[in-house]
Amino acid sequence: MSAAPRALRLLQLDAAAGGSAGLVFALAHAPIRAWTGHAAGVYAAITAANLLYAAGGALLLATAKRRGHLPRAGVAALIAANTAWAVVCITLVVATGERLRPLGWAHLLGEAAIVAGLAAAEAKWVWPAAR
The number of folded domains in the chain is: 1
Residues 114 and 107 sit within 8 Å (Cβ to Cβ): no
What is the extent of the structural domain holding 108? 5-129
Q: Give pLDDT tens digits for 111-120.
A: 999 999 999 9
Q: Name the pTM for this structure.
A: 0.93
Alpha-carbon span 42 to 37, nearest angstrom: 10
Q: Give pLDDT tens digits for 36-84.
A: 999 999 999 999 999 999 999 999 999 999 999 999 999 999 999 999 9
Mean pLDDT of the residues in the chain = 96
